[in-house]
Amino acid sequence: MNAQIVEMELFDTDVMREDGPTILNLPVDATLEDVFHAPICPDLRDLFRRTLNGPLTSEKRGELTIRQTLENPELAPKWIGALIALNAHAAASNTIGDAVQLERHLAHPTDQIASVCLPLNVPGRMWCETQIAPADGPALGAMAVIDLDAQDNVRSARLILTGLGSVPVSINGSLKQLNGQPLTDDTINAVAAAVVQEVAARGFSVKGATDQLAEITRAAFKTCRKGDCSQTN
pLDDT at 233: 40
pLDDT at 83: 96
pLDDT at 57: 93
Cα gap 100→166, rounded to integer Å: 23
169 CB contacts (<8 Å, ≥6 apart)? 160, 161, 162, 199, 202, 204
Per DSSP (E only), the strands in 31-71 are: none
pLDDT at 230: 46
Asked if residues 21 and 121 have their Cβ atoms less than 8 Å apart, the reply is: yes
Phi, psi of 137 (to 5 degrees): 110, 175
**Residues of the chain falling short of pLDDT 70:** 1-21, 94-97, 134-137, 206-207, 228-233
Cα gap 223→126, rounded to integer Å: 9
Strand, helix or coil for residue 160? strand
Cα gap 32→37, rounded to integer Å: 9
Asked if residues 212 and 206 have their Cβ atoms less than 8 Å apart, the reply is: yes
Q: Cα 77 to chain center, whole Å?
A: 10
| AA identity, residue 46 | D
Tens digit of each residue's pLDDT (9 = 90 or more) over 102-152 = 999 998 888 788 899 888 888 889 999 999 876 666 788 999 999 999 999
Q: What is the sign of the dihedral through the CA atoms of 94, 95, 98 and 101?
A: positive
- Ramachandran assignment for 168, one of left (phi > 0), alpha (psi -120 to 50 degrees), beta (any other): beta
